[in-house]
Structure 1
Amino acid sequence: MPETRYELESLEQKFYNLTDMNGAQRRIPCFALLDGKHFAVEHPPHSGSLNANYKGFFSFNSLMLCDSDLRVMYCQISELGVNSDAQLFRDGPLQSILDDLVRMAGFRMLPDHRTLMPPFLLADNGFALTHSTMQPYRQNSLTLENYEFNKMISAVRVRVENLFGVLTSKFRILRRDMNLDPSTSRALVVALCVIHNIQLGPLQLLDVDSTAPMMANPYDSPEDQRTALKRFLLDQ
């Protein structure tokens, strides 16, 4: 996790600089991507259906944050496969960590010189919409503008899915049901994330100006903030 404004804004700039197939900047000013991942295990003894997930197999669920280079920034493993992504987020420390980042960095002006944004991550609709967690519009509110917004942020958010593919390709044990003591299985997933990060090498920070003034929250709700982000992305 970033510990200074400089690290945070460097992570944001790296996402902002990502390009599409035509070489155009995607201009998404997030600092991380969030998603859940079920890791399959043999049926833990004496657990009944507590490790049976909605996908039809036994597992431990997890939450992961990654940066633009697919580096794992945060990993939280559930004790039970029945725990949903939203439950892990609600019961874990991640929201408190995000609140601390917002207090550290505040709301800052985007390059259009009229849109203010705090540090935020992109997630899917399995999570709550908050000032620090932006997500696509749901199916029942898909206007043409909202559809275009969804396409733009989903093209970046898919990178966290790429991370899961990289982990299972790199560490073949994750392709089959882990037959270990439950606590060992969870520790193994965390250890493999650490090894993956080591193989990526040290985080390369960009030369960014982290002295811009911090502003107060101008939005009455997270929905107002998402609308401002949509305007920023579509008005280009």
Structure 2
Amino acid sequence: YKLLEDNCLQIPFDKPLPGCRNPVPYLIVADAAFSLKRYMMKPYPFKGLTDSQAIFNYLLSRARRIVGNSFGILANKFRILLGKINLSADKTRGITLACCALHNFLLSESHLYQSDIAKLVDKEVPPSGLRQQGGNHPSATAMEIREKFQNYFNDVGAVEWQNNMV
């Protein structure tokens, strides 16, 4: 967490979203328990939402579910990912990338692996031990970034079915 806060994790530079000119940061999608940060998006508070805020919240929640399901599938096959890995960041990165590469290889080469994955898709992932970090007073920059994403998802980045979901 400290490395993330101190901007020491080699996260790529800000980049424009498709169809936009102004760059926005890469993000971690989070739920309401986490603080809104420049690098961490959380939903708008659920009271008195505008339609565009409700759409943003829905799409953010959908992204979180997809990431959670994907990680759950990977972690249930490669159990080392279920707990804390007490190795250096480089070795942990290597292990994670090896798990991803092995998963992709097995997915493309093994019908048995594919059927095992289908059984895991709706399985719950055990909590990872993550907890709320920091206070709950977001910076003006973090709120501005969330608003940029909200505007994007309600304009250039809108999908035709999103209004039916809120």
Q: TM-score, normalised by structure 1?
A: 0.39
Which of 199, 207, 214 does residue 102 from structure 2 map onto? 199
Cα deviation digits, residues 89-125 of structure 1 (max 9, x gap): 3xx4233346753xx62x4433333443122222222
Contact 1:122 1:157 (8 Å CA) reproduced: yes
Summarize the Cα distance change of 1:170–1:226 in structure 2 as closer, same or farther, 3 Å threshold.
Answer: same
Q: Which residue is 2:30 aligned to?
A: 123
Give the number of the structure whose residues are more often helix, by fraction. 2
The whole-number CA distance in structure 2 between the counterparts of 1:174 and 1:99 is 19
Cα shift at 1:145? 1.6
Alignment correspondent of 2:6: 96
The structure where strand makes up a greater share of residues is 1
Q: Which residue number in structure 2 is paired with residue 232 of structure 1? A: 152
In structure 2, C-alpha distance between the alignment counterparts of 1:163 and 1:222, rounded to whole Å: 27
Higher RCO (Cα < 8 Å, 6 or more apart): 2
Shift of 1:196: 2.3
CA distance in 1 between counterparts of 2:146 and 2:96 reads 31
The 5-angstrom pairing of residues 95-114 of structure 1 reads 95-97=5-7, 100-101=10-11, 105=13, 107-114=14-21
- 1:200 partner letter: H
- Deviation, 1:194, is 5.9
- Specify whether residues 224 and 173 from structure 1 end up closer, same or farther in structure 2 by C-alpha distance, changes over 3 A only: closer
Tell me, in whole angstroms, the C-alpha distance in 1 between the residues paired with 2:78 and 2:103: 15
Shift of 1:195: 5.3
- CA distance in structure 1 between the aligned counterparts of 2:18 and 2:85, rounded to whole angstroms: 42
Output one character per residue of 1:4-53: Cα deviation in whole Å (capped at 9) or x when no partner.
xxxxxxxxxxxxxxxxxxxxxxxxxxxxxxxxxxxxxxxxxxxxxxxxxx
> Are the aligned partners of 1:115 and 1:229 in contact in 2 as well (CA < 8 Å)?
no
Contact kept, 8 Å, 1:168 with 1:174, in 2: the verdict is yes
Computed over aligned residues only, the root mean square deviation of the Cα atoms, in angstroms, reads 3.7
Task: Tell me the CA shift for residue 164 of structure 1.
Answer: 4.1
* Distance in 2 separating the partners of 1:220 and 1:133: 13
Displacement of 1:128:
1.6
Distance 2:150 2:63 in 1: 14
Q: In structure 2, do the counterparts of structure 1 residues 195 and 149 end up closer, same or farther at CA, with 3 Å as the change threshold?
A: same
Matched to 1:234, the amino acid is: N
Residues 116 and 192 of structure 1: CA distance in aligned 2, closer, same or farther (over 3 Å): closer
Residue pairs, 1:137-152, within 5 angstroms: 137-152=44-59
Count of paired positions: 118
Aligned-partner Cα distance in 1 for 2:153–2:62: 13
Counterpart of 1:78 in structure 2 is none
Identity of aligned residues (%): 26
AA aligned to 2:102 is Q
